[in-house]
Amino acid sequence: MYFAENYYRVINLDKGLHIIKLYDVQKEFLRFLVDNNKVVCCSGRQQGKSTIYCIYSLWLATFFPEKKIMLLANKAATALELLGRIITGYEYLPKWLKAAATVVNKGELSFANMSSIRAFASSSDAARGFSCNVVILDEFGFLNKNVADKLFTSMYPVISSSKNGKFIIVSTPNGTDNLYYDIWCQANSKEVGKNLEGWKPFAMYWWQVPGHDESWKEKQIAAIGAKRFAQEFNNEFISNSSIRKLIPDEVLERFRIRLSEFKTKGLKPKKQRIIS
């Protein structure tokens, strides 16, 4: 956080180029990334989640040698844009703080300390053959299910084989029929034996962003509708099916969480006495 708020510059549409001032939930997320190795984050749009893992990536590569960081996004343009933010942050660091760069281009930022950050579009064979210490998957919920399954299958063993390897998955909800939703449910499950991989969940909500109050919420709902607002900003997983359901997805989700808590407490239904 000290590195971010004293040296990391971002470009804001209103403020232009300036040193970032983190708000509370961003500070919590940054600390969460440092403290945990398997992170799955659920966050609405424009809530500052990508800025945090960009800061984390540059900090890690600058101060720790031989760290290989792989940044994958659902689109190539998005991956390159994210790396561009990191390069901007690097370029405006004080000279005495900069690690000596050996490669700086639109797809890679490498340093003399042998640490590097590379950006790729997420695909079934993305970055195959590259070894890495940290994998960051951006908007994982928006990948084709088949592609997401193959990508995860190919990347996960590389990280799992390292005691200090990090796997960071970040996305806005995008329905319930995808691997991201499955991992999010697994991470939040309190049922014994359900989360053996040790995923740690982190959620960022619209009301945690400065300036996002009830008035802001009503304007967004008026523009995009309540259902889209619930998914785009309020972390609600809504089915993409066009078939209208008898029980809404949000009700099913609350029931699933409550059932998980019920099982965790070891509660069992009372046996009914049969009267003959």
Q: Where are the domains of the chain?
A: 2-264
Matching residue, tokens 């997320």: 29
pLDDT at 242 (0 to 100): 46
Are 64 and 77 in contact, with CB atoms under 8 Å apart? no
Are 112 and 103 in contact, with CB atoms under 8 Å apart? no
The residues of the chain scoring below 70 in pLDDT are 124-130, 158, 160-161, 240-276
Q: Give the contacts of 53 (CB within 8 A, at least 6 positions apart).
A: 33, 71, 136, 138, 168, 170
Q: Which helix (H) or strand (E) covers residue 5, if one does?
A: helix 2-7
DSSP β-ladder status, 16-19 and 9-12: antiparallel
Are 134 and 97 in contact, with CB atoms under 8 Å apart? no
Q: Give the contacts of 120 (CB within 8 A, at least 6 positions apart).
A: 70, 71, 72, 76, 79, 107, 126, 127
Alpha-carbon dihedral of residues 16, 139, 165, 134, nearest 10 degrees?
-40
Q: 2-264: which CATH number, 2.60.120.10, 3.40.50.150, 3.40.50.970, 3.40.50.300?
A: 3.40.50.300
Are 36 and 59 in contact, with CB atoms under 8 Å apart? no
pLDDT at 7 (0 to 100): 96
Q: Is 169 helix (H, G, I), strand (E, B) or coil?
A: strand
Residues 95, 180: Cα–Cα separation, whole Å: 40
| pLDDT tens-digit series, residues 64-107 | 999 999 999 888 888 999 999 999 999 999 999 999 999 999 88
Claim: this prediction has a pTM higher than 0.85: no
